[in-house]
Structure 1
Amino acid sequence: MPAQSDLKPMLNAAEVNALMASVYPQLNDNFISYEAIDVFPGGCMVRLNADERHLRPGGTVSGPALFTLADIGGYVCVLSHAGPDALSVTVNLDINFMRKAEAGPIDGHCRILKLGKSLMVFDIDIVAGPDGHTVAHATGTYSIPRKRQDDAVK
């Protein structure tokens, strides 16, 4: 399924990272673990800089860390394309884990499948390792808050 083709971002990656740091500071605490790398029409690229904090026994990046990357991909897409309303929330997120991910950079290639007035549907391919193999794939939906009347006047 191709991504929705008529979309234009309102924010770039640096602007989304700054917004997330101000409204969601606990995401990265004192480390830059999750970040937007790129925003482009109809999608984004996010990264998990996985280190020992993200590993479970056996040296595998934990499922919750990869799940968070998938969710952050959706959040970056909705913030950058629907507008910088930090109150957008996840409605649904389904993930399939395919192979082991080890510490290091793990990238999420996210595309918006449908952006409406109240919902955004996306998918994300999470890749890692020197060969860039898919380690997980997720699909999700974000709820977009209604524009308040006082916001429309500004």
Structure 2
Amino acid sequence: MDDPSPSPAAIQAVVHQGVPLAAAWGIEVVSAADGAALCRLPWREELLRPGATVSGPALMGLADVAMWAALLGITGGKDESLTTSLTIHFLRRLAPGPVLAEARILKHGRIIVGEVLIRSEASEEVAAHVTPSWTAVSPARRPSR
């Protein structure tokens, strides 16, 4: 039986088209299936803040993209859900280098709740814990004549 889930490359193409900043940062979708996704943010000097630490806005953007990739993995690559909240707890600083975000959907319905763990590619230690929520958006209804 064929797996109806789109490939990580197909999901990455949707993400890059839908969020041009993700393309500019070079965010990669490593995997996305079964309500989970792994995304990679390559090393980019412009994403650092003073003190040679990966910036909070870069980590929040990566987490948001990873959550969307997880959703795209279960919706056949078509999803127009919108972020309604994103809470992030910075647990430790991330030194310069590639960053990974592991997202998983905890609840999928009209309200979607997830969890994203962010870490350095070189470490298993979680550097940030993110709890995003999204609102599912239904395709627009055509007016009746």
**Per-residue displacement from partner, 1:6-59 (whole Å, max 9, x unpaired)?**
xx8732211111112223224323x51x12111121201011113211101110
1:46 match: 39
Match of 1:28 among 19, 23, 33: 23
Matching of residue 61 in structure 1 with residue 54 in structure 2 = yes
Aligned counterparts, 1:93-132, within 5 A = 93-116=86-109, 118-128=110-120, 130-132=122-124
Distance 2:77 2:31 in 1: 16
Q: Which runs of 5+ in 2 are unaligned?
A: none
Native 8 Å contact 2:83 2:134 kept in 1: yes
Distance 1:9 1:93 in 2: 29
Share of identical aligned residues, percent?
A: 31
Native 8 Å contact 2:5 2:76 kept in 1: yes
1:70 match: 63
Question: TM-score, normalization: structure 1?
Answer: 0.80
Q: Which runs of 5+ in 1 are unaligned?
A: 1-7
Give the number of aligned pairs.
140
Question: Judging changes above 3 Å, is the alpha-carbon distance between structure 1 residues 132 and 21 closer, same or farther for their aligned structure 2 residues?
Answer: same
Question: TM-score, normalization: structure 2?
Answer: 0.85
